[in-house]
Amino acid sequence: MGLACLWSVSTLGAEIAAATDMARIIARGDVNRTQSPKSGETWVSLYQGNGRLGGCFGPWGLQATPGSTRDYSIHGGENFTHLKHWVRAKFNADYLLPVASIYWEHEPKRVSGYAQHQSFYEGTVRTRFQGDDYSVEILSWIDPVHRDVAGFRIEVTGEPPAILFGPIGKTRIKYEQEMEQSFTGRIENGDWTGTLRFRDRKTPLSVRTTARSEAVTQGVKLTLKPGRNDILVTIGTDTVGSAEESLHATMDYWRTNWKNSGWLDLPDDDAQKVWVRSLAYINYSHNDDGIGCSPPNGLSGGGWQFPFPFDSGCRQPLLLWTGRIEAARAWLEYWRSRLDGLKTYTRRIWNKDGIMLPHTFPYGPSEDYHLPEPPNRFYYPIYNDGHRSPDGGYGERPRVDTRRRRAADQGRGPILSGHRRERKGWAVALLG
Task: Say what the pLDDT of residue 398 is.
Answer: 46
Provide DSSP, 188-199. ETTEEEEEEEET
The per-residue pLDDT for range 8-32, each reduced to its tens digit, is 444 444 445 566 799 999 999 999 9
Within 13 A of 52's CA, how many CA atoms are on the CB side? 21
pTM of the model: 0.85
Reported as type and span, the H/E element at residue 281 is helix 269-284
The per-residue pLDDT for range 204-244, each reduced to its tens digit, is 999 999 999 999 999 999 999 999 999 999 999 999 999 99
Q: Is pLDDT at 397 greater than 50 in this prediction?
A: no
The per-residue pLDDT for range 38-83, each reduced to its tens digit, is 999 999 999 999 999 999 999 999 999 998 889 999 987 899 999 9
The per-residue pLDDT for range 262-272, each reduced to its tens digit, is 889 999 999 99
Question: Which ranges of 322-412 would DSSP assign to H, the alpha helix?
Answer: 325-336, 339-350, 381-385, 402-409
User: What domains appear along the chain, each with residue ranges and CATH number?
Assistant: 8-245+266-329 (2.70.98.50)
Total Cβ atoms within 10 A of residue 139: 21
Contacts of 421 (CB under 8 A, 6+ apart): none
Give the sheet arrangement for strand 163-167, strand by strand.
46-49, 53-57, 80-88, 94-104, 163-167, 219-223, 212-216
Burial class (CB in 10 A: 0-12, 13-18, 19+), 4: exposed
Task: Say what the pLDDT of residue 416 is.
Answer: 25
What is the C-alpha separation between 101 and 81, in angstroms, rounded? 9
Task: Say what the pLDDT of residue 17 is.
Answer: 57
Region 93-116: mean pLDDT is 96
What is the C-alpha separation between 367 and 418, in angstroms, rounded? 21
